[in-house]
Structure 1
Amino acid sequence: MKRVWGVIAVFFFISTASARLEKYFKYAGVYPERVRIQSEGGISSPQMLTREGVLYRKPGARATVLVCHGFMCSVADVKFLRSLFDKYNVMFFDFRAHGEHADKQCCTFGRDEAYDVKAAVDFIRSDRELSALPLISYAFSMGAVSCMNAQARFGGLFDCAVWDCPFESTEDLLARSISNLEFSFMGQQFALPGRRFLKKFAYNQYVQEVLKWLLKTVANIDAAQIPTRVVPLDNVAAAQKVFVPTFYITCKKDAKAPPAAVRRLYEATSGFKRLWITNGRHHFDSFFYDPDVYAYRVSHFIEKFLNKQCSGDSTVVRPREKIVVDGDIWGEASI
């Protein structure tokens, strides 16, 4: 019996040591560098904004990945995503009104955040080492929308993109949020009165204050934590100006960026593209629902791009367009 326990102990020690060594070699030579970028203010600020970030350089990297977070997140919340890109240089930064030094700043759900993306890309392109490498965008939710609009507005920022759960427009996002507002009375659910009025005047600054309060009280969405100004933003129109290889991802049960919404963006995008609809349970849940498959799919797409298998030339890789929907139990169905 002692021998059995001894074997188990040795096996456990070897497994633990191997995992630590693997992690060590995986990130060997990678050190975080604090970075600071200067972003144009836009409609949300009359002044230039200073944003903080962190850069991880990987010796021998074939590319650099710029990771952009979503609404009510920060660099500190999303650093775990670096594990998806252990082969590459990775840079994170805080959007305006998020993370460090966010006083007197305002979030616009992607409109002015495009300037933050542009500033981050300018920083990367100004670096002698990084500028020689392809630049890949990985972003989710508001971050994906910001990158999409930056790519469309300024052109040529990214060479490849992986965008998880972007919404098609602020108008549609607000309409869905308002339509889902309900309250409970005596055990019954009722639609909130006045939803048509809220939808019609959703961009009015006074109505937006009421809407924030309702979202916090009724829908448990605390938008009041981040100073916010929602302005019209047509992301489908922006997607029409995206021509780089693009991988869209969303969840079947995503109420904020449902499959139909992300599919509109996918269809508007030109060039080599993929859409993956996962069994995720809510907004930005594809990674957490199945981290291994998510990591494989994202890595596989990036490697295809780096190996020049995502060329605009249809003779290189076929098909240039593909939608994959995960099965309810296991497996997938291509449509």
Structure 2
Amino acid sequence: MDRFADVLLVTANVGSLFDHALGSMYFIHKTLKNIYQYDFNVKDLKAVQGKNKHVGSLDRVATVEKEKFPKNFWPDFKWSRKGFMRTRWLIHNQGVDLVNIHLFHDASNLIACNSSPSVYSGNRKNALRYVINRISDSRFTALPFFLFGDFNFRLDTLSVVEHLSIETEMQTVKKDSTNEVEKIICEEKDSTHQLVLHIEEKLFEYLHEAFFREDNGKALLKYDKEVQAFCDIIREVDITFPPSYPYSEDHNQPTRYMNTRCPAWCDRILMSHTADDLIHWSDDDEEEEKSVVYNTVGPNVCMGDHKPVFLFFQLKTNNH
């Protein structure tokens, strides 16, 4: 007989505050009994009792499998802090893996809009494939899993730029010494020549910034393509909130985006198809909206440049 356990997963980009790319906090309500956590060293489960806290290096913490991407993964890039961290749980006889992940960012807006998909998108695809393979290999029994964190997924920037600049005059400015593109400028075609879009390595300034928030960014979802390559393995609850990054860090402008990057849904919660089967989806449409909620934390409050994303659901568990 199935029973349900309420689960709340939250992606909070707090690790960088302590110079760690990954970190997780797990809170178990006192009403939940018989909760076990996996020890990866002895390959066995241990009952969760009391409060446990691990700070600093997690290399010797047996209940955590943490791995940075190999330094030779991509020799041209020096993002050694990125990687993943897995914990394994047994909740009322139902096992699940919770995997915190941090993938690579777009180092340059100009390079990001060079091609479709961008070179950065390709790097993230390789990294995510690596993580999925690692948590699914033969070292441990494969379980349903949830992936959460800063995936750094970006929109197809070239396509977005083409969309935003369709009725403008585009000008590419190059450096005299190297002929390298230094900036992209799009101006109104009329006599005003008003600047509509201005792109540099770390600048993405669009005149109509509110466009990225309109209707929760629904018009942008067609450019959000990076998850699609993994649809055979993982899925995601429908996104109905604006891009989670890069928000202004001015507490007086909590809903505005900074002009550093093209807004995108960097922060995500994904799940294997087997994990999706464990979510209790209500047959009643109104109740379903309450039983599974995927949204941002603090939409109208300054939360830093990333808005944390949460997924609330009821996990089917075995009553026996």
TM-score normalised by the chain length of structure 2: 0.32
Q: Greater share of strand residues, 1 or 2? A: 2
Q: Compare relative contact order (CA 8 Å, sep 6+) and give the higher one, 1 or 2.
A: 2
TM-score normalised by the chain length of structure 1: 0.31
